[in-house]
Amino acid sequence: MTAGIESATRWPTIHKDIAGFPVQPNLVDYDATCAAFTWDSARRGLSGLPGGRGLNIAYEAVDRHAAGPHAARDALRFVRADGTTRALTYADLFEQTNRFASVLRALGVERGERVFSLLGRIPELYVAMLGTLKNASVFCPLFSAFGPEPVRQRLHLGAGRALITTRALYRKKVAPIRAELPELLHVLLVDADGAPEPGTLDLAELMRNAPEFGGIATTHREDMALLHFTSGTTGTPKGAIHVHDAVTAHYATGRFALDLHPDDIYWCTADPGWVTGTSYGLIAPLVHGVTSIVDEEELDADRWYRILAEQRVTVWYTAPTALRMLMKAGADRARGHDLSALRFVASVGEPLNPEVVVWGQEAFGQPVHDNWWQTETGGIMISNYAATEIRPGSMGRPLPGVEAALVARDEQGKPVLHNITAVLVTDPDVVGELALRPGWPSMFRGYLNEEARYQRCFVGGWYLTGDLAKRDADGYYWFVGRGDDVIKSSGHLIGPFEVESSLMEHEAVAEAGVIGVPDPVAGEIVKAFVELHAGFEPTDALRLEIIGFARKRLGPAVAPRLLEFAESLPRTRSGKILRRLLKARELGLPEGDTSTVEVPR
């Protein structure tokens, strides 16, 4: 067992003044909401396709609003590099997504065939995504920063039929590999300007001349809608298959975990190349009829504060890496901006250090609500529920409709089975593998072309997430580490997260990544890589001081024995610290799949 629970609970629970907190009034009681909730009850909040023709994400996100009083409201508002904005109302989005679906139909792209994008966060990406769903085809967004090889791998695995991209990206990343992709029949350029590259088409022209739209295709709950690749934090990215019914979960979790109201101005900072940018950058907010902000640029502290203030953002969903970056820049940077509209802040993607939750209150006037999910789960599963208290350092509790458990693991890290039933951890504060009972609507239905890998995720009626966690006596879950990242040292099981969080409490430490390195006596010893705040020098004295600081908090068995200063830690494009890469470099081993590694700017 790790010492994590003791260190984490040093941070006091943040109680919300429920009376003064404008949440959906029916959500205040967590237990009552969980008891009353069924996924069918959530489905009743959706429209379904007219004439009982099934369920389609794009219809729920766009069409039903375009036909109602929200038609003229901004659905997506894009902030350009110079700070100016361009918006698509629900009515605009209705019209453009119909056109895009018509274009696909005219090109002969069929139901179930895959349409990829390789684009920055510009309107065409969002129009293409929803238009593809209206054609009953499957959408797969890629990060525009991917190099030619990751693009080729994913297009090949997904048998991409059409690709939407820009001229520059096509020349640099697609043209060199095009010959290796015989299934890719159509490449549509968003900026062809009347003169497409050889072998490509001009999307704007096709949109202008699109045949009249014959109506949204019939799709059923279980029809494949999205293909999303995982972040590749632990190895080769997997293509997770999601179906139209996922929208039921986006709708429910948008309410429970993000507290979306129709008059919200909401901003999710994630790129759709990562599942968060699709599930919560597009689908959840539009299903709730809110205005969703999209920043076309990259992370920058001053720019982000400006957007929060100028756009009067009310609900903000971001990631620990971004919050740590803002923290590194200092709370003073926030002070010059009017953040008074902001009423709810949430984070996902990596463990959120308690330090950051509490700092949020100073900087934004709001604590940060951590929540947990994966590409595979398609939507938020565990969350510091919108209406109740926050426990800094905890991911929160399972959302209504989600059944979570901890599966006991043996010495080798394998799930313990009794006959075919998984043995569950029931005592508080004991580590197990986080598991979910299958059956929620946004659950992945497979890894594309990897059935065996998919089947290996299920044991004794549970979906195993690969993450280790603990649960406290009140049912809050505390992240310990990814199964692969956990360190075994002299009989202790050490979660990198708690060591990193303790290090971050030292005033000099901005970020930390912790790994185990082999040791003949202890099995493994803890090594930390540390990024310093501006103004601190990486001296030997500081190194010893930080190690001493961690020993006091964590005890000598858990604190790092080795500490190295780093300019920047390697991370994925979705912002996760890549401990496997730190370890491979430390041990001089091959770096493995690096297709999703962020190249420092």
Q: Which residues bind ligand ATP (CB under 6 A)?
A: 230-235, 237, 274, 348-352, 370-372, 374-375, 395, 465, 467, 479, 482, 574, 576
Q: Which does 574 bind (CB under 5 to 8 A by kind): ligand ATP, Mg ion, none?
A: ligand ATP
Token digits for 137?
């085809």
- Candidate segments 58-66, 119-127, 227-235, 331-339, binder of Mg ion by CB under 5 A: 227-235
Residue closer to Mg ion by CB (options 235, 330) is 235
Q: What is the largest CA-CA distance in the chain?
A: 73
Q: Residue 17: count other Cβ atoms within 10 Å of its Cβ.
A: 6
Minimum separation from the CB atom of position 268 to ligand ATP (A):
14
DSSP state of 111: T
Closest separation between CB of residue 234 and ligand ATP, Å? 3
In degrees rounded to 5, what are phi and psi of residue 173? -115, -25
Instruction: Return the number of the residue (187 or 404) whose C-beta is nearest ligand ATP.
Output: 404
Rank residues 9 and 572 by Cβ distance to Mg ion and give the closer one: 572
Contact segment (CB under 5 A) with Mg ion among 120-128, 228-236, 422-430, 571-579 equals 228-236
Residue 289 CB, nearest distance to Mg ion (Å)? 31
Q: Which residue is nearest to Mg ion (CB)?
A: 230
Question: Which residue type, as a one-letter code, is found at position 40?
Answer: D
Q: Which is nearer to ligand ATP, 234 or 502 (CB)?
A: 234
- In the complex, the smallest distance separating the C-beta of residue 444 from ligand ATP, rounded to whole angstroms, is 10
Q: Is residue 468 helix, strand or coil?
A: strand
Structure tokens at 277: 């940018």
Q: Of the ranges 230-238, 405-413, 441-449, 553-561, which one interacts with Mg ion (CB under 5 A)?
A: 230-238
Q: Which is nearer to ligand ATP, 460 or 592 (CB)?
A: 592
Q: Residues near 580 by Cβ (< 8 Å), separated by ≥ 6?
A: 233, 234, 235, 484, 485, 592
Q: Which residues contact 420 (CB under 8 A, 6 or more apart)?
A: 460
Place of tokens 């966690």: 469
Shortest Cβ 218–ligand ATP spacing (Å):
30
Residue 502 interacting entry, from Mg ion, ligand ATP, none, C-beta within 5 to 8 Å by type: none
Range in contact with Mg ion (rule: CB under 5 A) among 216-224, 226-234, 268-276, 328-336: 226-234
Check if the beta carbon of residue 88 is closer than 8 Å to that of residue 76. yes
* Residues binding Mg ion: number (CB under 5 A): 1
Q: Which of residues 425-464 bind Mg ion (CB under 5 A)?
A: none
Ranges of beta strands (E only) in 26-94 are: 74-79, 85-89
Of 117 and 230, nearer to Mg ion (C-beta) is 230
Residue 86 CB, shortest distance to ligand ATP, in Å, is 29
**Pairwise CA distance, residues 162 & 184, whole Å:** 6
Residue type, 178: R
- DSSP structural state of residue 175: G
Which 61-90 positions form the footprint of Mg ion (CB under 5 A)?
none
Closer CB to ligand ATP, 231 or 311, in the complex: 231
- What three-state secondary structure class fits 532? strand
Nearer to Mg ion, 230 or 314 (CB): 230
Partner in contact with 351, chosen from Mg ion, ligand ATP, none, beta carbon below 5 to 8 Å by kind: ligand ATP
Q: How many angstroms separate the CA atoms of 151 and 123, rounded?
A: 21
Q: How far is the CB of 201 from ligand ATP (least distance, A)?
A: 32
435 φ/ψ angles, rounded to the nearest 5 degrees: -135, 155
Q: Residue 370 in contact with residue 381, Cβ under 8 Å? A: no
Contact 334, 304 (CB under 8 A): no
The per-residue b/e assignment along 237-273, b for 16 or more CB within 10 angstroms, e otherwise, is: bbbbbbbbbbbbbbbbbbbbbbbbbeebbbbbbbbbb
Q: Which residues bind Mg ion (CB under 5 A)?
A: 230
